[in-house]
């Protein structure tokens, strides 16, 4: 039976979680059904399993039916979010995704582990596995290489890729970044934080990428470029452009803005190979990445869910342009 609207203090915290101002791990246990379901959802997103999915669907329904949600903009926002996620989780129940297989065992060199990176160790292994297993029928493109943590893993995998070694595969790796420093970059959960450069806002960090990634960079085509977004005006670098031919693997870590996803799709999707290319959204499994989920939902006829490794990265098979 509905008893009341959710307390305003809980709605405030819920909205801060959805915008990313508050990290789910920093919430203390409150006994609030609303905050508990959001915390669980955050955990599920980075570590999906079918059992948890069905439990969550029930918990979301229970939370929605507990309150009246017409109390104001915050209540409507949170209710809209829960309804949307509940529907999306229900739709995903039939998806044939691979959760964790070969990549769990992937071995990486020390030179890769030493690079300061925002991605998780499980994702680093996944990227090395992808690099090792692509067919070599198109290039690898990484958007948002930062200091090269993911780049190193992709290169390491590609160096062990039999098709590429045998000369049958012609894949090369291209990375794009504005390479402009912003203070938020030092405030993320970065591995090896003592190795982060100390830079002024908007200072170029390309040489720091090249130094951190020295063991791998000779195989990498590095592009300074930006896609329009919240901070685009501040980048003062050329727009990202792609004229390099077929792309077999596209790794996206350019943030979570819908417009950025749209722009990169316009630029790169014509070069994806229907039925073959893999597109990874590194930030998909973050509670605040609702616009990335929305983008993937809106492109469901082009992108079929593929891999769900532990961590925030989730990947899709490009089916074809619709
Ligand atoms: C979350 S970090 C990437 C972390 C990285 N994948 C790693 O291995 O640690 C996002 C990167 O994308 C770049 N970036 C974000 N939005 C961008 C945009 N619209 N255009 C160009 N670069 C962008 C930032 O400069 C930053 O280096």
Q: What is the CATH number of the domain that holds 176?
A: 3.40.50.150
| Strand pairing class (139-143; 247-252) | parallel
Query: Do 143 and 271 belong to one domain?
Result: yes
Dihedral angle sign, alpha carbons of residues 66, 68, 293, 29 = negative
Ligand 1 closest atom vs CA 143: 12
Helix, strand or coil, per DSSP, at residue 222: strand
Q: Name the closest-CA residue to atom 12, ligand 1.
A: 144
- Provide mean pLDDT across the span 195-207: 93
Question: Is residue 31 very low, low, confident or very high in pLDDT (cuts 50, 70, 90)?
Answer: confident
According to DSSP, the residues that pair with 236 across neighbouring strands are none
Q: How far is the CA of 243 from the centre of ligand 1 (A)?
A: 21
Under 8 Å between Cβ of 59 and 89: no
SS3 content of the chain, % helix, strand, coil (to 5): 45, 15, 40
- Calculate how far, in angstroms, residue 8's C-alpha sits from the geometric centre of ligand 1: 35
Number of domains the chain is built from: 2
The answer to whether residue 147 sits within a structural domain is yes
pTM, to two decimals: 0.89
Instruction: With respect to residue 23, please indicate whether it lies within any of the assigned structural domains.
Output: yes
Same-domain pairing of 110 and 43? no
Domain that holds residue 271: 103-318
pLDDT per position as a tens digit, 101-125? 789 899 999 999 999 999 999 999 9
Mean pLDDT of 116-137: 95
Q: What is the mean pLDDT of the chain?
A: 90
Map residue 197 onto helix, strand or coil. coil
Per-residue model confidence (pLDDT) at position 98: 74
Kindly state whether residue 120 falls inside one of the protein's structural domains: yes
Please compute, for residue 311, the number of CA atoms within 13 A of its CA located in the half-sphere on the CB side. Answer: 22
CA of 18 to the centre of ligand 1 (A): 21
Range with the poorest average pLDDT among 159-163, 184-188, 218-222: 184-188
Which residue is listed with tokens 């499994």?
Answer: 285
- Together in a domain, 111 and 209: yes
> What percentage of the chain carries pLDDT values higher than 90?
62
Which domain-ending residue is among 92, 124, 157?
92
Query: Element (H or E) spanning 18, and its range?
Result: helix 8-19
pLDDT in tens, 217-259: 999 999 999 987 655 556 678 889 999 999 999 999 998 889 9
Per the domain annotation, does 2 fall within a domain?
Answer: no
């Amino acid at each position: 039976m509905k008893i009341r609207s959710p307390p305003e203090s809980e709605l405030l915290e819920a909205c801060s979680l959805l915008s990313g101002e508050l990290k789910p791990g920093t919430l203390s246990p409150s006994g609030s059904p609303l905050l508990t379901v959001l915390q669980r959802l955050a955990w599920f997103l980075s570590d999906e399993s079918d059992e948890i999915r069905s439990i969550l669907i029930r918990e979301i329904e229970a939370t929605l039916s507990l309150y009246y949600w017409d109390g104001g903009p915050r209540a409507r926002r949170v209710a809209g979010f829960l309804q949307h996620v509940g529907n999306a989780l229900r739709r995903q129940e039939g998806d044939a995704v691979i959760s964790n297989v070969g990549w769990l065992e992937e071995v990486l060199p020390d030179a890769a582990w030493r690079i300061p990176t925002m991605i998780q160790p499980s994702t680093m292994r996944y990227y090395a596995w992808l690099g090792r297993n692509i067919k070599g029928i198109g290039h690898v493109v990484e958007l948002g290489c930062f200091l090269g943590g993911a780049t190193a893993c992709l290169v390491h995998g590609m160096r062990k890729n039999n098709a590429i070694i045998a000369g049958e595969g012609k894949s090369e790796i291209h990375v794009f970044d504005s390479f402009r420093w912003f203070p938020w970059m030092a405030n993320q959960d970065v591995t090896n934080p003592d190795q982060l450069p100390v830079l002024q806002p908007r200072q170029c960090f390309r040489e720091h990428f090249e130094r951190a990634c020295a063991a791998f960079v000779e195989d990498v085509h590095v592009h300074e470029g930006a896609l329009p977004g919240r901070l685009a005006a501040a980048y003062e670098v050329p727009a990202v452009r792609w004229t390099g031919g077929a792309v077999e693997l596209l790794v996206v870590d350019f943030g979570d803005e819908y417009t950025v996803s749209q722009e990169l799709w316009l630029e790169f999707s014509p070069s994806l190979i229907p039925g073959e290319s893999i597109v990874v959204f590194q930030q998909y499994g973050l509670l605040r990445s609702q616009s990335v989920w929305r983008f993937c939902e809106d492109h469901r006829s082009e992108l079929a869910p593929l891999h769900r490794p532990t961590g925030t990265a989730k990947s899709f098979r490009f089916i074809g342009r619709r």
